[in-house]
Structure 1
Amino acid sequence: MSDPDFIVPPPGLVPDAPESDRPDRPEGTVRAERALPGFRPAPGIRPPSALPIAPPSTPRTDEAAPPVAAAGATPSPAPARPAPTGPWRLRSADGIEFPVHDRVVAGRDPSPPAWLQGVVVVAVPDHTRSMSKTHALLESREGRLLVTDLDSTNGVRVWPEGEAPVDLEPGVPAEAPLDAVILLGDVAFLVERAPAQSV
């Protein structure tokens, strides 16, 4: 219940409090907006699925509404997208791209050891020099892509989509699934399958 002796003045009638009565704030500071918690990858590393998701489309009023299924009817499943069957391909955000048909040794200036003679050699430009000269072995085996750290200085990490990155033990092959990110030092590559017709 309101106090009958208290009268609320109309807006603008009472002046604002003088500057001296306002709370002290250091010169030049402003209140920061509250930031939403979010995942921040290491600098220069693009996480999987970093592309924005398109907002859901809203049907226009002049468009016909989709037919409603009869009660008790099971909806027909959406047609499954065929899995890509082309060769494995690694692609960086800087446009560096190379296929992995069989075995590839990648690094700044690869010189494969004797037991890897005959492999495809891929020199990757790395101005930060985080990648070793002979950094990693990539192999296409029975439909899987395997990556092995060749005792590199800054290591190899496999970052499957939706999971945490895994540091590889040197000399031990590990699978890199489709849409994972492979980190050779600080250079990130997205694991893709090339279209079958490009074989």
Structure 2
Amino acid sequence: MEPDPNDPPASPWGAMNVDWAPVQPVPVQPTPAPSGVLELDQGTRLPLDRWWVLGRSPVAPPERTDATPFAVPDAMKSLSKTHLAVGPAPGGAMVVDVHSVNGVRIRRPSGGMVVLVPGVPATAEWGSTVEYGLRTLVVRAP
């Protein structure tokens, strides 16, 4: 009896009973672009890979529920409990004064200053210093 040319070739190990299941593609996660850091005046470095909310005892505001709270020590009580939100943006960080008492200012590397309007986002380019209460942070490039 001649083998059928449409049959797969015989295995050198004899008859094999294999059930083939369809292969499901595995999605490839894109590699995130390198992010900068927020360098707080007391030495803490927060990766600029997400939104942060800073203050004495911060809680993510309703408009930024994905923000990670970070408590900043403030013996002088110049910070509100929830003072500002900071997140990644092209060329730097997006900063929002979340209706703090003592406000938020961005000092640009060029020397210019922007006083934030509560609730209105503003961009802090790489190298900018963000002043909030009596505290500061610097937006560092990757």
The TM-score with structure 2 as length reference comes to: 0.70
1:90-169 maps to which residues of 2 (within 5 A)?
90-169=38-117
Return the alpha-carbon distance in structure 2 between the equivalents of residues 176 and 108 of structure 1: 22
Bigger fraction of residues in strand = 2
Amino acid at match of 1:93: D
Q: Give, in angstroms, the shift of residue 181 of structure 1.
A: 0.2
Give the structure 2 partner of residue 87 of structure 1.
Answer: 35
Amino acid at match of 2:74: D
Return the alpha-carbon distance in structure 1 between the equivalents of residues 67 and 42 of structure 2: 24
Is the 1:102–1:141 Cα contact (8 Å) retained in structure 2? no
Return the alpha-carbon distance in structure 2 between the equivalents of residues 115 and 162 of structure 1: 31
Give the structure 1 partner of residue 127 of structure 2.
Answer: 179
Return the alpha-carbon distance in structure 1 between the equivalents of residues 124 and 77 of structure 2: 23
Residues 18-49 of structure 1, C-alpha deviation per residue, up to 9 Å, x if partnerless? xxxxxxxxxxxxxxxxxxxxxxxxxxxxxxxx
Q: Which runs of 5+ in 2 are unaligned?
A: 1-32
Q: Which runs of 5+ in 1 are unaligned?
A: 1-84, 195-199
Return the alpha-carbon distance in structure 1 between the equivalents of residues 129 and 116 of structure 2: 13
Q: Give, in angstroms, the shift of residue 110 of structure 1.
A: 0.4
Return the alpha-carbon distance in structure 2 between the equivalents of residues 124 and 145 of structure 1: 18
Is the 2:82–2:98 Cα contact (8 Å) retained in structure 1? yes
The TM-score with structure 1 as length reference comes to: 0.51
Please tell me the root mean square deviation across aligned C-alpha atoms, in Å: 1.7
Return the alpha-carbon distance in structure 2 between the equivalents of residues 142 and 127 of structure 1: 34
Please say which structure displays the higher CA radius of gyration: 1
Q: Give, in angstroms, the shift of residue 142 of structure 1.
A: 4.1
2:130 counterpart of 1:191: no
Q: Give the secondary-structure state (helix, strand or coil) at the position aligned to 1:176.
A: strand
User: Identity across aligned pairs (percent)?
Assistant: 32
1:58-77 maps to which residues of 2 (within 5 A)?
none
Return the alpha-carbon distance in structure 2 between the equivalents of residues 145 and 91 of structure 1: 12
**Stretches of 4+ aligned residues off by more than 4 angstroms:** none
Amino acid at match of 1:172: V
